Structure 1
Amino acid sequence: MAGSSLTAPVGLSPRESQGKPVKNKAADVMLVRAMLSANGIGPMGESKKMDSGLLKSLKTFQKNIGFKNPDQVVDPGGKTEKALKPKFEAQKREAAKVVMVEVKYRGKILQLTEKDHEKMVKEVFAKLDGYMTSLIKNHKSCIDTHQDYLDTAMLKDGVMNAVAQAIIITAGSVNMPDMKIISRSIKATGGLERAIASKDLSKLDKALPEAEAAINAFNAEIQRFLKDFTGSAQTTATVLTITSATCFAVVGALAAPVLVTGAGMSATAAAVTSGASVGVLQSASQELGKHASGMKVTVWGSVQSIVIDGTIGGLTAGIGNKIPLKFCDKMGKAMASKLGSKVAFMSSAQLEKFIANYLAGSGQEVIKGAIGESIKLVGIWMKKGKIPSEKDFDAAVESILYSALLGGMVKNLGGFQKKWAYKNKDMLTGTILPDRFSKLAKSNTIPKTLQAKLWADVMNKVSNEGLKAGHHEIYARATGKESEKQLTDMAAKALLKDKSLQKVIDREMLKAMKKHGIEAK
């Protein structure tokens, strides 16, 4: 805190009362502010310069202590300073009793009371708890997945499974996960766990970014391995022409990697599912083989073959590898009728085609997820003794897909629709109309009121055409995965390039100029 005594007069300069010249030194000004604040005058701010607010506060305080004619000056050892000091000194004594804790967090040095420090630590760790728990679980899941493959290689799952895995890895030139990446993730996860246990913000500040980078790298490496392994497994299965009666050990070895990659299952869940009955595994391998070899199969046909004896979901991961286009078209039609009111700038036919193309293209993961969740429902129904129909299955997919599209693709299209309405108007009045006017008018110097009328006349004729140009671009070129901003940017570029719209603007601009008596070139 500041010193306790002034070194020179502070206040109104030049002073109107008798005394030494007012200096208003920075340290003295700050001390006066602190004294006034301690006496309940303020808030005073932290400026080192004298200002009107400080002078007004001095006048108020001097009136409070009996000055008939406040001079707004504080002299060292004078009446005003003596009146200010008692509460200021008392405040300093109280502050000295408070133990402060210095914390380095996010690159800043913070001075906190013990109470505030405890509160901050509690709040930070509480807010980050869920995220940090997920990070650690991610690491452990990757460790479990890697260990499954190591266990198989070490004959813990039987000689035939070890041989099958070796064939798949060798045939596809598949590299096992990088041990350096795994070691970094293990070390960083341990550091994060220790930081969480310590409740030390400085340790967390260092450990969390390191854990994020290392665990994400480990996850990416495991996904790379699973993708390579699964691709090689499918190729190997096709080459070996695996059936339900031949080389079943190889089929068993293929099941887990396909599940982990295709469904995003944890290694533990995959291992449990892989331990299901021989009949179910054989059926699953045949269906996955059909998809891998490009045979024409329906989604429902695969579901019927795989959901045996009430088995739920897991074994169906590979069904989504090749979603039949007819199924995407069917879902597109169903979704268009439900979501049409949310995307008003597209006709029902346009929206139907757009959704079908999206599901067959960039939306593959969305439809795979909907199918996977629906298959779980089918399994539950069968356990309860109900035999679902294809219609029941499609209805379940539609319901899940509706929620997914409503919160993703349709939300972005709806947001774009609103943003584009504003952007279209801004581009026309702010850029395009002024530019066309400068090229058509003999003189660009016209009153602003006349300019506003001119813009309004032209906008009434071309605004909808501008909107349509952007809408057509989105319908023709968007994939469905774009954000609101990306969609709006696409529409804006199309507006600037639209030559036919430019001709309409020029025609309407010339009409408006003639109406208001503006001479053309």
Structure 2
Amino acid sequence: MSLAISAPVGDKNRITIADKKGQKFKPVANKPEDVKMVQLFLIANGYKVPLDGKASAAMIKAIRAFQKSACGFKKPDGIIDPGGKSWKAGFGKLKAKHEANLKELANRVEITENGKVKHITIKEFEKRQAEMLRKFSNRADGLIGQAECWEDFAKDAEKTMQGADGFMMQMTEFTVRWANKTAEPPWNAILNARSEAKFLKSLTTHSKPNWEKISAQETKAVKAHNAGKKAFKKYIDARIGTAGAFAGSLEIVRDTSFTVVEVYVTAQIVIQSKGKIKPYEAQILAATSVEGIKSSAGQVGEVLAGNNVTFEGAAKKVALDMFFAGAGAAITGKLGPAMAKKFAGDFSVQLFSKLGTNKIPKEAIDKLITNFLKSGAGQAYMENMAKETFMLLKTGIEKGKVTGKDFQDAFFKAATAGLLKGGIGKSISKFNSERPMRTSLVVGKLVHSKYLKGAPDMLRKLYPDEDNLTKILVKHGPDIAQNISEKISGKVTETAVLKTVDMASGTENEKQLGKMYEAELRKSKALHDELDALMKSEVGKYYKKLEKAK
């Protein structure tokens, strides 16, 4: 936008005379664009005039007022000439106003809201955009969470089918699928729902979101979710309906528990309560309900087998089984920070005492077991141990001979023994025993790549006789590498161990921990500094011998 007028604007009846002899004024044209510029000129200088491009009497009056005030004209003529005194007197404020407007416009964004075009500040736009991204992101998280619940349930069903939960559970799963083909997990619908939801989530992470894509993908993700929900409901109805039919006719259900149903019920309780029921509370409800179904089916089996079962006795048996299942889940779910910390501490002390020499720091064991307890695998392990311990002590608890402390001691003892013999205890023990070998391997490779492939400047400056230096590195390189490996300080390796466990989830095996440890060693500045110092010292010993021989 050019801040200028092409011709005079204002009163067409000019009353003034030119300052210079022979000078002639251009005629007043009042071109609409010029009039608008003069109106902007007047507004910038504090006069209220409409911005309509019309040279009205009110506008001309404002020009005269400006000329009298700003220019000191005794007889203002009501005309603004291009580059004239009046124009020059007020141009500074017009320019300042224009620049302020440009700055304001640079800070604004044009949007369409409810069919209307609006201008809002960039800050407001970014705020709205962030809110919309959160909305779509939360929507995606909800869809992903539901799809993953379906997937976890289906995975558990497949594990059961493979015998992971015992022969009886495997037979139950096989029989349900054999009797009803729709009891097969709807993998295509589940995985498609998860995939579309994750793609929606990925679109919300871009710094410059494509809203058309996001909107279209949300529609696609919701459609896939609804298809998955329908397929999964059909699958669940088929499983529970078929299993329920067995409860009244087949003894195979006797003494089995529908673990996969418990997982599904737990997830549904959490989702349907919209966060009002905590996961461990949902687990208690689900465990109690499923145990009731299992126990009831067992009592039906007793009746069908012709055994003497009374209504009162059956009801009591079902009630007690439900109580113990719920109590076992409750104890696991309420394994709060204090109990978890105590268990982790006891476990760390026992494992640390079994590691022998050259132990990793106890702090590392504490972190690994704490991370394990927080993981899904850790929670599942502790839950199973709690249930098994509770069921083993059930008779004593019924008779009041087992206290809460007795249960806790038995639970901790069983859980600790299991972890020490396998799982995380085995992984940590093997990792600890293999650590010196892994340290030597990393140090050997670093020494070879940093020093033995060619003498670095660091060594040349200290030992200028290049022939002797080359002889030393070629002939004694392997021995030097071995000596250095044995002299690496424990502090360097312990620091690498602690950095490794900081990144670990607690579910890694010894090979995974070993690779993570090697990676930390390779990028350790402390190790590289120590290598430089040790290399200088080791090479120096051989160098002195060669100098003396000369």
TM-score norm. by structure 2 comes to 0.43
Larger radius of gyration: 2
TM-score norm. by structure 1 comes to 0.45
